[in-house]
Amino acid sequence: MAKISRQTSRQWIVTHEWMVNPMQQTEWIEGRGLLIWLAEVFSSLGTGLYLVSIFVNNWRGALLGWLIVIGLKLPLHVIYLGKPSRFWRAMPPFTNAWRTSWIARGSFFTAVFSLFGLLQLITSYVSPGSGIDILVKVIAGLFCILTALYCGFMMSYCKSLPFWNTGLLPIVIMNAGIADGLALLIGIGMIAGGVNFAAVETVTRVLLLFDVLLIASLVMNGSYRSATAGFSSKELTTGHTALVFWVGTVLMGIIVPLAISLQTLWGAGETTHWLMIAAVVAHTIGAFGLKYCILKVGIYEPILPKAKVLRRAL
């Protein structure tokens, strides 16, 4: 009887391995989940560009940022839901889910930003600097920030994924988004003009250095939080995601644009046209790499401590 009990326990552990071993989340990064990855990248690029553009009064940049959110980020989210015709049910006043669901809150933030962002583009074009323009710009900017932040809060709210479950994550995503927006603003300035490259590069250098600090803190925080979060950190730096992290995020997203920017600071002369293009492209690749890495290393905490289950099976 004892032998049968031991065999049954061992079979139970094999059948329910996800309950005792860390398991990678795939819902938001594999198969159809790649839509979420792309949506969050375009959310970061669009909101970051819109924010920095309204701050420096660059109408073309604000327009492009708004179009990225409305034309790329929002449709990808709607398609991912599977039933786009029911998308409206995720927003108040048609649901009370906003009280507990960051997805519902994010849908509301994006919808309000879509409306006030469009109004801001109209007022800034018709009567720039007027009282109504400033008021609409403040409201649109506020909901743009909320749209940029909600993904980070949604992920950090997942207690079953300890690497995400930290207040650092929204800050990492927001800082990276603003840096992404500045890079795109440089690209717009190269085409249409009207951008103070020296000022933008100065702010970009600061944000890139802050990126290094934040990403390093996120990885170290994971290493010390729990065994599962530590496993996520190892996957990010030395595991299956390491190539994308070191090449896509660190090299292309931080080192290359920072090096190109610093060569001007250290007296090497003005940054050439092709180097500026390379910096913008590398920075944008880094935006894709960072979101991919964060989503890819989301690993579920086991429901049952493995050691206790093993002792029970013996």
Alpha-carbon distance of 285 to 289, in angstroms, equals: 6
Residue by residue, pLDDT tens for the chain (314 residues) are: 445 455 545 544 444 666 677 888 888 898 888 999 999 999 999 999 999 999 999 999 999 999 999 999 988 988 887 666 666 666 666 666 666 677 778 888 998 999 999 999 999 999 998 999 999 999 999 999 999 998 899 899 888 899 999 999 999 999 999 999 999 999 999 998 889 988 999 999 999 999 999 999 999 999 988 889 999 999 999 999 999 999 999 999 999 999 988 887 765 555 578 888 999 999 999 999 999 999 999 999 887 655 443 333 33
Residue 48 is encoded by which pair of tokens? 């970051």
- In sequence order, which residues have a C-beta less than 8 Å from that of residue 53 and are 6 or more positions away? 59, 60, 61, 62, 64, 65, 181, 185
CA dist list (Å): 126 to 113, 139, 266: 19, 18, 42
The pLDDT of residue 93: 67
CB atoms within 10 A of CB 79: 13
Identity at 111, one-letter amino acid code: A
Kindly report the CATH number that applies to the domain delimited by 15-313: 1.20.1630.10
Q: Give the start-to-end residue ranges of the domains of the chain.
A: 15-313
CA 71, CA 77: separation in Å to the nearest integer?
Answer: 11
Contact call for residues 138 and 151 (beta carbons, < 8 A): no
Distance of alpha carbon 4 from alpha carbon 273, whole angstroms:
74
Looking at the whole model, is its pTM more than 0.85? Answer: yes
- DSSP codes of every residue in 89-124: GGSTTS-SGGGT-HHHHHHHHHHHHHHHHHHHHHHH
